[in-house]
Amino acid sequence: MKQHPPYPGDVLPEDATRSVDKNRRQLLTIGAISAAAAAIPFSSASSASRRLSASSSRSQDMHSIITNNAEIHYKDWGSGQPIVFHHGWPLCSDDWEVQMLYFLSKGYRVIAHDRRGHGRSSQTFTGNDMDTYAKDVAALAEHLDLRDAIHVGHSTGGGEAARYVARHGAGRVAKLVLIGAVSPLMLRTPTNPGGLPRETFDDLRKQLAAGRADFYWSFPIPFYGFNRAGAPVSEPIRTNWWRQGMMGGAKAQYDCIEAFSETNFTEDLKKITVPTLVMHGDDDQIVPVADSALLSAKLLRNATLKVYAGYPHGMCTTHADVINQDLLAFFRKA
């Protein structure tokens, strides 16, 4: 087994910690903006530069709000129609950085938050459930006064996005995208015989409780399909997944396993009327397509289903070029 990458764990006084965190967030934001500018073709540099400048003028820092007894951190870059990205378990808003920079360069305002207990948000002891996740998003949407927004959710974030749109999104949401989403229900029950057995999720909890560092080092292998023939392990992708997972709180991430596996989104999906794109890889080893996307598309009133042959759960990373283009086409469709 490869040696784990170092992770900063020094304990600092509270004031010093806040100062270090603020400086770190400033450097990360500035670095991301610089990287985006360098990656944009010269022919479009002028317009893209203006958009990146709008992002810079909006903030050189990550923002946060206090809601439902938690501090929720979020990124808010650019101007134009807002796209809100909902990340998967146990990751954070950083998992969307490729999409955020891509759609920022296309003239959209891009927003992504760290779910409570994940990333830079509060390491919550309670409230780690889908209802509260959706309420946190509702508070963020109200705080930013988001209108005509497109919500994009991956995995657990797909469930969060669906619940938000169904229960809180009236008058604020234009479109919805579910990518490798956990909806309508992951757990096998008498009414959901195609779901995964409870033992699957008990094993996730057992491995997390025994030590996240080892667990999170091995989990990206099936997540990205690195265990398939002809798919070599990308150590940078694996390390980035591990980094994000270790940023969050163990208790919140432990609780989130129940939230993403046992929450039934059937009624939420039935209520959603906005155009919804359902995207899923048919080689998803984390959320099998047959009991998720194929069922969700039937429950939604206005759904378009796209199944990608051979794509893994983490296809937004492994096949970002294809996914981004398909997302853009859906966003632009009247």
Q: Which of 73, 86, 151, 313 is flagged as catalytic?
A: 313
Quote the pTM value.
0.83
Average predicted confidence (pLDDT) for the chain:
87
End-to-end CA distance of the chain: give it in Å, rounded.
Answer: 50
Amino acid at position 182, single letter: V
Instruction: Name which of 266, 263, 127 is nearest 201 in CA terms.
Output: 263
Residue recorded with tokens 């010269």: 42
- The topology under which CATH files domain 63-332 is Rossmann fold (3.40.50)
Residue 40 has pLDDT above 80, yes or no: no
Partners of residue 177 on adjacent β-strands: 152, 277
The whole-number pLDDT of residue 6 equals: 38
The whole-number pLDDT of residue 19 equals: 39
Residue 74 has pLDDT above 90, yes or no: yes
In angstroms, the CA 176 to CA 161 distance is 8
Instruction: Give me the sheet containing 173-179, strands edge to edge.
Output: 63-67, 70-77, 109-113, 82-86, 149-154, 173-179, 276-281, 303-308
Render pLDDT for 196-215 as a digit per residue (tens, 0 to 9). 999 999 999 999 999 999 99
Residue 241 has pLDDT above 50, yes or no: yes
**β-pair type (276-281, 63-67):** unpaired
Highest mean pLDDT among 9-18, 22-31, 210-219: 210-219
The whole-number pLDDT of residue 90 equals: 98
The whole-number pLDDT of residue 128 equals: 98
Residue 52 has pLDDT above 70, yes or no: no
The whole-number pLDDT of residue 14 equals: 39
Render pLDDT for 296-311 as a digit per residue (tens, 0 to 9). 999 999 999 999 999 9
In angstroms, the CA 267 to CA 8 distance is 43
Q: Which of 122, 155, 261, 296 is flagged as catalytic?
A: 155
Q: By mean pLDDT, which of 20-34, 123-137, 161-175 is the weakest?
A: 20-34
In angstroms, the CA 235 to CA 325 distance is 25
Task: Tell me whether residue 79 is one of the annotated catalytic residues.
Answer: no
For the chain, what percent of residues have pLDDT higher than 70? 81
Render pLDDT for 140-168 as a digit per residue (tens, 0 to 9). 999 999 999 999 999 999 999 999 999 99
Q: Which of 95, 284, 291, 296 is flagged as catalytic?
A: 284
Is the distance from CB of 253 to CB of 117 less than 8 angstroms? yes
Question: 323: which residues sit within 8 A by CB, 6+ positions away?
Answer: 99, 179, 279, 315, 316
27 or 297: which carries more pLDDT confidence?
297
The whole-number pLDDT of residue 68 equals: 96
Integer-rounded Cα radius of gyration of the chain: 19
Is the distance from CB of 131 to CB of 262 less than 8 angstroms? no
Task: Tell me whether residue 19 is one of the annotated catalytic residues.
Answer: no
Is the distance from CB of 155 to CB of 96 less than 8 angstroms? no
The whole-number pLDDT of residue 77 equals: 98
Instruction: Name which of 128, 89, 121, 120 is nearest 219 in CA terms.
Output: 89
Residue 230 has pLDDT above 50, yes or no: yes
Amino acid at position 281, single letter: G
Q: What mean pLDDT do residues 11-24 have?
A: 39
The whole-number pLDDT of residue 224 equals: 98
56 or 210: which carries more pLDDT confidence?
210
287, two tokens? 């959320």
Task: Tell me whether residue 284 is one of the annotated catalytic residues.
Answer: yes
307 or 54: which carries more pLDDT confidence?
307
The whole-number pLDDT of residue 61 equals: 53
Q: Tell me the helix, strand and coil percentages in the chain, rounded to 5.
A: 50, 15, 35
Spell out the domain ranges in the chain: 11-61, 63-332
H helical segments located in the chain: 14-39, 45-58, 97-105, 130-143, 156-168, 198-210, 212-218, 220-223, 235-247, 250-262, 266-271, 293-299, 315-318, 320-332
**b/e 56-93 (16+ beta carbons within 10 angstroms → b):** beeeeebbbbebbebebbbbbbbeebbbbbbbbbbbbb
Residue 16 has pLDDT above 80, yes or no: no
Residue 183 has pLDDT above 70, yes or no: yes
**Residue 288: is the preceding peptide bond cis (ω within 30°)?**
no
